[in-house]
Amino acid sequence: MGNLNTKEVVEKYGFKFTKSLGQNFLIDNNVIIDIIEGSEVCKDDFVIEIGPGVGTLTKELLRRAKKVCSIEIDSKLIPILEKELEEYDNFQLIHNDALKVDYKELIGNEQNVKVVANLPYYVTTPIISNLLNGRHKFKSLTIMIQKEVAQRMNAKPNSKDYGALTLLIQYYCNTKIIRKVSPACFVPRPKVESIIIRLDRQEKPKVDVDDEKLFFRIIRDAFNMRRKTLWNALKNLGIEKDKLQQALNNANIDPKRRGETLSIEEFANLCNHICKIK
């Protein structure tokens, strides 16, 4: 592991942090080691890093991976990264918003694709949703995220953290919490605690659904109106009342239940019964 020099690089270039871009850079070597080891990146891997900052994590990834492609939105960081990482010929830098990148094109024919990132917290959920729903063929995402978001990803039915994000993650991935990270490991310090989590993408989604779009629509409606019964929440689907009643009966789900009590299997079963009678 090379010397960690986040603070030196920041000083050398007189870099000024932009809070609205979620710029909290890592200054703790052990955290970098745990991200790298948790991701199990090796010489065969094509790594996509979102938000390289001044390149602290990037450098360690470059030493281990076949290729690292980092996507950074902040134009002030581009010349710094180009200079600091110039010795690595397996480095590609994309100056863009991670939400606007064409990942299909970027990944091309690469087989062993892993995403590794200390994510900007203000866009964690859209970035992850984009990557998962795009069905890009990456093997895993090892990411540092806000503790509360990690808890939502790992939640069980009937808990306050259980919601649309839980089901999105659990549909596509197995999750593994690697460790907690305190605000003292960053400069500037974030207000929240963080967690490193690995999402291992499964070959096949966890449940079989006949219409994925409808499946996620049902979930969205069920949680948009968390305090309402499923019956009231699902009225927005625009299905005739007696058909919705019949689908709920066939799926063996009491219409008076709230969405937050349904397991992923029950959501899938309900979706498939709605598909049958529509």
Which pair of structure tokens corresponds to residue 246?
Answer: 């019949």
Which of helix, strand or coil describes residue 138? strand
Q: Examine residue 23 and tell whether it contacts ligand SAM (CB under 6 A).
A: yes
Sequence letter at residue 89: D
> Which of 36, 41, 47, 50 touches ligand SAM (CB under 6 A)?
50
Q: Which of 222, 272, 278, 142 is nearest to 150 (CA)?
A: 142
The amino acid at 14: G
Nearest to 139 by CA among 117, 114, 107: 114
Q: Does 73 bind ligand SAM (CB under 6 A)?
A: yes
Residue in 48, 65, 68, 98 binding ligand SAM, rule: CB under 6 A: 98
Q: What is residue 96's three-state secondary structure? A: coil
**Choice from 72, 84, 221, 260 touching ligand SAM (CB under 6 A):** 72
Kindly tell me which residue out of 33, 42, 99, 277 binds ligand SAM, with binding defined by CB under 6 A.
Answer: 99
Binding status of residue 33 toward ligand SAM by CB under 6 A:
no
21 binds ligand SAM (CB under 6 A): yes
The verdict on 4 binding ligand SAM (CB under 6 A) reads: no
| Cβ-based neighbours of 175, under 8 Å, separated by 6 or more | 153, 154, 169, 197, 198, 199, 200
The rounded distance, in Å, linking the Cα atoms of 203 and 59 is 30
Out of 10, 15, 46, 52, which residue is the one contacting ligand SAM (CB under 6 A)? 52
Segment near ligand SAM (CB under 6 A); pick from 53-61, 103-111, 166-174, 196-204: 53-61
- Where along the sequence are the contacts to ligand SAM (CB under 6 A)? 21-26, 50-53, 56-57, 71-74, 77, 97-99, 118, 120, 123
